[in-house]
Structure 1
Protein backbone atom coordinates (compact mmCIF):
# COMPACT_ATOMS: atom_id res chain seq x y z
CA UNK A 1 0.00 0.00 0.00
CA UNK A 2 2.81 2.44 0.82
CA UNK A 3 4.40 2.01 -2.61
CA UNK A 4 1.11 2.79 -4.34
CA UNK A 5 0.68 5.99 -2.34
CA UNK A 6 4.21 7.15 -3.14
CA UNK A 7 3.73 6.45 -6.84
CA UNK A 8 0.29 8.08 -6.89
CA UNK A 9 1.73 11.14 -5.13
CA UNK A 10 4.56 11.37 -7.65
CA UNK A 11 2.10 11.10 -10.54
CA UNK A 12 -0.11 13.81 -9.07
CA UNK A 13 2.93 16.06 -8.61
CA UNK A 14 4.08 15.47 -12.19
CA UNK A 15 0.64 16.33 -13.54
CA UNK A 16 0.42 19.61 -11.62
CA UNK A 17 3.91 20.91 -12.44
CA UNK A 18 4.07 23.26 -15.43
CA UNK A 19 5.89 21.96 -18.48
CA UNK A 20 9.42 23.26 -18.68
CA UNK A 21 10.03 25.32 -21.78
CA UNK A 22 13.06 24.52 -23.87
CA UNK A 23 15.78 26.86 -25.07
CA UNK A 24 17.79 26.58 -28.27
CA UNK A 25 20.85 28.63 -29.17
CA UNK A 26 21.20 29.76 -32.78
CA UNK A 27 24.55 31.20 -33.81
CA UNK A 28 24.88 33.95 -36.40
CA UNK A 29 28.08 33.18 -38.31
CA UNK A 30 30.23 34.61 -41.10
CA UNK A 31 31.05 31.05 -42.14
CA UNK A 32 29.52 27.77 -41.06
CA UNK A 33 27.33 24.87 -42.17
CA UNK A 34 25.80 25.79 -45.49
CA UNK A 35 28.40 28.38 -46.47
CA UNK A 36 29.01 32.03 -45.79
CA UNK A 37 26.68 34.22 -43.70
CA UNK A 38 24.52 31.59 -41.99
CA UNK A 39 22.40 30.86 -38.96
CA UNK A 40 23.45 27.65 -37.22
CA UNK A 41 21.17 25.79 -37.05
CA UNK A 42 19.14 27.31 -39.87
CA UNK A 43 16.08 25.14 -39.16
CA UNK A 44 14.58 24.74 -35.68
CA UNK A 45 11.47 22.94 -34.39
CA UNK A 46 9.97 24.17 -31.12
CA UNK A 47 6.99 23.69 -28.85
CA UNK A 48 4.89 26.71 -27.86
CA UNK A 49 6.61 28.48 -24.98
CA UNK A 50 10.12 27.50 -26.10
CA UNK A 51 12.82 30.11 -26.55
CA UNK A 52 15.60 30.77 -29.05
CA UNK A 53 18.67 32.70 -28.05
CA UNK A 54 20.11 34.25 -31.23
CA UNK A 55 23.84 34.70 -30.66
CA UNK A 56 25.89 37.09 -32.85
CA UNK A 57 28.93 34.82 -32.62
CA UNK A 58 30.61 36.80 -35.39
CA UNK A 59 30.31 40.59 -35.59
CA UNK A 60 27.88 42.45 -37.82
CA UNK A 61 24.78 40.26 -37.48
CA UNK A 62 21.25 40.72 -36.21
CA UNK A 63 17.98 38.84 -36.40
CA UNK A 64 14.74 40.18 -37.87
CA UNK A 65 11.40 38.65 -38.80
CA UNK A 66 10.91 38.34 -42.56
CA UNK A 67 7.69 40.19 -43.41
CA UNK A 68 4.97 37.71 -44.36
CA UNK A 69 6.75 34.80 -42.66
CA UNK A 70 5.15 34.69 -39.20
CA UNK A 71 1.77 33.61 -37.84
CA UNK A 72 -0.91 36.28 -37.43
CA UNK A 73 -0.46 38.13 -34.17
CA UNK A 74 3.14 36.98 -33.64
CA UNK A 75 5.50 39.56 -32.21
CA UNK A 76 7.79 41.24 -34.77
CA UNK A 77 11.45 40.68 -33.93
CA UNK A 78 14.33 43.01 -34.80
CA UNK A 79 17.53 43.07 -32.78
CA UNK A 80 20.31 45.61 -32.98
CA UNK A 81 23.39 44.56 -34.95
CA UNK A 82 25.83 42.74 -32.70
CA UNK A 83 23.28 42.22 -29.92
CA UNK A 84 22.00 38.91 -28.59
CA UNK A 85 18.24 38.41 -28.96
CA UNK A 86 16.08 36.09 -26.89
CA UNK A 87 12.72 35.23 -28.45
CA UNK A 88 9.98 33.18 -26.80
CA UNK A 89 7.53 31.60 -29.24
CA UNK A 90 3.93 31.44 -28.01
CA UNK A 91 2.07 31.18 -31.34
CA UNK A 92 2.18 28.03 -33.42
CA UNK A 93 3.23 28.29 -37.04
CA UNK A 94 6.12 28.97 -39.40
CA UNK A 95 8.55 31.85 -38.77
CA UNK A 96 11.17 33.16 -41.19
CA UNK A 97 14.13 35.18 -39.93
CA UNK A 98 16.90 37.08 -41.63
CA UNK A 99 20.07 38.90 -40.76
CA UNK A 100 19.25 42.36 -42.11
CA UNK A 101 22.80 43.25 -43.26
CA UNK A 102 23.26 39.86 -44.97
CA UNK A 103 19.76 39.02 -46.20
CA UNK A 104 20.79 39.62 -49.82
CA UNK A 105 23.53 37.03 -49.27
CA UNK A 106 20.93 34.46 -48.19
CA UNK A 107 21.33 34.64 -44.42
CA UNK A 108 17.98 33.20 -43.34
CA UNK A 109 16.57 30.77 -40.78
CA UNK A 110 13.24 29.00 -40.39
CA UNK A 111 11.49 28.14 -37.11
CA UNK A 112 8.47 25.85 -36.83
CA UNK A 113 6.47 26.05 -33.61
CA UNK A 114 3.96 23.40 -32.63
CA UNK A 115 1.76 21.46 -35.04
CA UNK A 116 -0.22 24.21 -36.79
CA UNK A 117 0.97 25.25 -40.23
CA UNK A 118 -1.79 27.75 -41.06
CA UNK A 119 0.69 30.31 -42.46
CA UNK A 120 2.89 27.90 -44.43
CA UNK A 121 1.50 28.81 -47.86
CA UNK A 122 1.82 32.53 -47.08
CA UNK A 123 5.43 31.97 -45.97
CA UNK A 124 6.18 30.06 -49.19
CA UNK A 125 4.76 32.90 -51.29
CA UNK A 126 7.16 35.55 -49.91
CA UNK A 127 9.49 36.74 -52.67
CA UNK A 128 13.26 36.69 -52.08
CA UNK A 129 16.31 37.34 -54.23
CA UNK A 130 17.79 34.36 -56.07
CA UNK A 131 20.43 33.39 -53.48
CA UNK A 132 18.05 33.78 -50.55
CA UNK A 133 15.39 31.74 -52.37
CA UNK A 134 17.97 28.99 -52.98
CA UNK A 135 18.69 28.82 -49.23
CA UNK A 136 15.14 29.10 -47.93
CA UNK A 137 13.49 26.52 -50.21
CA UNK A 138 15.19 23.50 -48.56
CA UNK A 139 14.24 24.89 -45.15
CA UNK A 140 10.60 25.22 -46.19
CA UNK A 141 10.73 21.68 -47.59
CA UNK A 142 11.50 20.40 -44.07
CA UNK A 143 8.17 21.71 -42.77
CA UNK A 144 5.68 18.84 -42.51
Structure 2
Protein backbone atom coordinates (compact mmCIF):
# COMPACT_ATOMS: atom_id res chain seq x y z
CA UNK A 1 0.00 0.00 0.00
CA UNK A 2 1.37 3.41 -0.91
CA UNK A 3 2.12 5.84 1.90
CA UNK A 4 -0.34 8.40 0.48
CA UNK A 5 -3.14 5.79 0.36
CA UNK A 6 -2.35 4.65 3.90
CA UNK A 7 -2.33 8.26 5.12
CA UNK A 8 -5.66 9.02 3.39
CA UNK A 9 -7.26 5.88 4.83
CA UNK A 10 -6.06 6.78 8.34
CA UNK A 11 -7.35 10.35 7.99
CA UNK A 12 -10.80 9.14 6.90
CA UNK A 13 -10.97 6.63 9.75
CA UNK A 14 -9.95 9.30 12.28
CA UNK A 15 -12.55 11.76 10.95
CA UNK A 16 -15.31 9.15 11.10
CA UNK A 17 -14.39 8.10 14.64
CA UNK A 18 -14.25 11.66 15.95
CA UNK A 19 -17.47 12.88 14.29
CA UNK A 20 -20.31 13.48 16.76
CA UNK A 21 -23.31 11.18 16.64
CA UNK A 22 -26.17 12.59 14.61
CA UNK A 23 -28.93 14.01 16.73
CA UNK A 24 -32.49 12.88 16.04
CA UNK A 25 -35.44 15.09 15.11
CA UNK A 26 -38.83 14.12 16.51
CA UNK A 27 -42.14 15.51 15.24
CA UNK A 28 -45.05 16.40 17.49
CA UNK A 29 -48.30 17.46 15.82
CA UNK A 30 -50.64 20.09 17.23
CA UNK A 31 -54.18 18.92 16.51
CA UNK A 32 -57.77 20.05 17.03
CA UNK A 33 -58.74 16.38 17.38
CA UNK A 34 -56.57 13.34 17.87
CA UNK A 35 -56.44 9.97 19.59
CA UNK A 36 -56.36 11.70 23.00
CA UNK A 37 -59.44 13.84 22.32
CA UNK A 38 -59.88 17.48 21.40
CA UNK A 39 -56.99 19.97 21.38
CA UNK A 40 -53.99 17.65 21.72
CA UNK A 41 -50.33 17.24 20.98
CA UNK A 42 -49.59 13.95 19.26
CA UNK A 43 -47.65 12.23 20.62
CA UNK A 44 -48.30 13.76 24.01
CA UNK A 45 -45.17 12.16 25.51
CA UNK A 46 -41.84 12.25 23.70
CA UNK A 47 -38.66 10.69 25.10
CA UNK A 48 -35.43 11.97 23.57
CA UNK A 49 -31.68 12.18 24.16
CA UNK A 50 -29.73 15.32 24.99
CA UNK A 51 -29.06 17.23 21.77
CA UNK A 52 -32.13 15.89 19.98
CA UNK A 53 -34.65 18.25 18.41
CA UNK A 54 -38.44 18.24 18.65
CA UNK A 55 -40.35 19.96 15.87
CA UNK A 56 -43.84 21.05 16.89
CA UNK A 57 -46.02 21.15 13.78
CA UNK A 58 -49.34 23.07 13.68
CA UNK A 59 -51.28 20.52 11.63
CA UNK A 60 -54.52 22.35 12.46
CA UNK A 61 -54.82 26.16 12.79
CA UNK A 62 -54.63 28.33 15.92
CA UNK A 63 -51.97 26.41 17.87
CA UNK A 64 -48.55 27.16 19.27
CA UNK A 65 -46.06 25.28 21.43
CA UNK A 66 -44.29 26.86 24.36
CA UNK A 67 -42.46 25.73 27.45
CA UNK A 68 -44.10 25.77 30.86
CA UNK A 69 -41.68 27.73 33.05
CA UNK A 70 -42.82 25.89 36.20
CA UNK A 71 -42.20 22.50 34.59
CA UNK A 72 -38.64 22.32 33.33
CA UNK A 73 -35.23 21.48 34.75
CA UNK A 74 -33.10 24.17 36.31
CA UNK A 75 -31.04 25.74 33.54
CA UNK A 76 -33.35 24.47 30.80
CA UNK A 77 -34.02 26.88 27.94
CA UNK A 78 -37.53 28.26 27.54
CA UNK A 79 -39.19 28.56 24.15
CA UNK A 80 -42.34 30.10 22.72
CA UNK A 81 -43.57 29.38 19.20
CA UNK A 82 -45.84 31.71 17.28
CA UNK A 83 -49.44 30.81 16.45
CA UNK A 84 -49.70 28.62 13.33
CA UNK A 85 -45.90 28.40 13.02
CA UNK A 86 -43.69 25.35 13.27
CA UNK A 87 -41.16 25.58 16.09
CA UNK A 88 -37.97 23.51 16.37
CA UNK A 89 -36.48 23.07 19.83
CA UNK A 90 -33.15 21.43 20.55
CA UNK A 91 -32.98 20.17 24.12
CA UNK A 92 -29.49 20.43 25.65
CA UNK A 93 -30.32 19.80 29.33
CA UNK A 94 -31.65 16.57 30.80
CA UNK A 95 -34.98 16.62 32.59
CA UNK A 96 -38.72 16.81 32.20
CA UNK A 97 -40.21 19.67 30.13
CA UNK A 98 -43.88 20.61 30.15
CA UNK A 99 -45.22 22.05 26.90
CA UNK A 100 -48.50 23.89 26.33
CA UNK A 101 -50.51 25.46 23.58
CA UNK A 102 -51.33 28.84 25.08
CA UNK A 103 -54.69 29.37 23.30
CA UNK A 104 -55.89 25.89 24.36
CA UNK A 105 -54.12 25.43 27.70
CA UNK A 106 -57.40 25.65 29.64
CA UNK A 107 -58.78 22.91 27.36
CA UNK A 108 -55.91 20.64 28.40
CA UNK A 109 -53.58 20.99 25.42
CA UNK A 110 -50.30 19.90 27.02
CA UNK A 111 -47.39 17.63 26.20
CA UNK A 112 -44.35 16.28 27.98
CA UNK A 113 -40.80 15.99 26.65
CA UNK A 114 -38.42 13.81 28.65
CA UNK A 115 -34.76 14.44 27.87
CA UNK A 116 -32.22 11.82 28.89
CA UNK A 117 -32.32 9.81 32.10
CA UNK A 118 -32.18 12.55 34.74
CA UNK A 119 -35.75 12.94 35.93
CA UNK A 120 -34.83 14.87 39.07
CA UNK A 121 -37.44 17.57 38.40
CA UNK A 122 -40.33 15.13 37.87
CA UNK A 123 -41.37 15.24 41.53
CA UNK A 124 -42.03 19.00 41.42
CA UNK A 125 -43.69 18.93 37.98
CA UNK A 126 -47.21 18.09 39.30
CA UNK A 127 -47.04 21.28 41.40
CA UNK A 128 -46.82 23.50 38.32
CA UNK A 129 -49.70 25.92 37.95
CA UNK A 130 -52.16 24.48 35.41
CA UNK A 131 -55.87 24.68 34.65
CA UNK A 132 -57.77 21.57 35.85
CA UNK A 133 -58.11 19.98 32.38
CA UNK A 134 -54.41 20.50 31.68
CA UNK A 135 -53.47 18.89 34.99
CA UNK A 136 -55.86 16.01 34.28
CA UNK A 137 -53.96 15.29 31.06
CA UNK A 138 -50.45 16.03 32.39
CA UNK A 139 -50.50 13.76 35.45
CA UNK A 140 -50.76 10.48 33.46
CA UNK A 141 -47.93 11.66 31.21
CA UNK A 142 -45.74 12.24 34.26
CA UNK A 143 -46.64 8.77 35.57
CA UNK A 144 -45.68 7.21 32.22
CA UNK A 145 -42.37 9.08 32.21
CA UNK A 146 -41.56 7.99 35.76
CA UNK A 147 -42.33 4.34 34.94
CA UNK A 148 -39.74 4.32 32.13
Q: Please give the TM-score of this superposition, normalised by the length of structure 2.
A: 0.86
RMSD: 1.7
Q: Relative to structure 2, which stretch is displaced further, 122-131 or 112-121? A: 122-131
Task: Number of aligned residue pairs: give it.
Answer: 137
Which range is displaced more, 75-84 or 94-103?
Answer: 75-84
CA shift, 1:66, in A, is 1.1
The equivalent position to 1:71 in structure 2, one of 65, 70, 73, is 73
Deviations 1:25-56 (A, max 9, x none): 11000000100000010000000000011001
Residue 116 of structure 1 corresponds to 118
Q: Based on CA coordinates, which of the two structures has the bigger radius of gyration?
A: 2
Q: Which runs of 5+ in 1 are unaligned?
A: 1-8
Query: Counterpart in 2 of 1:22?
Result: 24
Q: CA deviation at 1:70?
A: 0.8
TM-score for the superposition, normalised by structure 1: 0.88
1:5 corresponds to: none
| Residue in structure 1 matched with residue 141 of structure 2 by the alignment | 139
Q: Quote the offset at 1:67 in angstroms.
A: 2.1
Q: Is the 8 A contact 2:28 2:56 kept in 1?
A: yes
- Structure 2 spans left out of the alignment, 5+ residues: 1-9
Decide which of 126, 129, 140 is 1:127's aligned counterpart: 129
Cα-to-partner distance string for 1:85-143 (whole Å, 9 max, x where unaligned): 00000000000000000000000000000011121112121132221111111100011
Of the candidates 63, 88, 101, which is equivalent to residue 86 of structure 1? 88
Aligned to 1:104: 106
Deviation of 1:15 (Å): 3.4
Please name the residue that 2:62 is paired with: 60
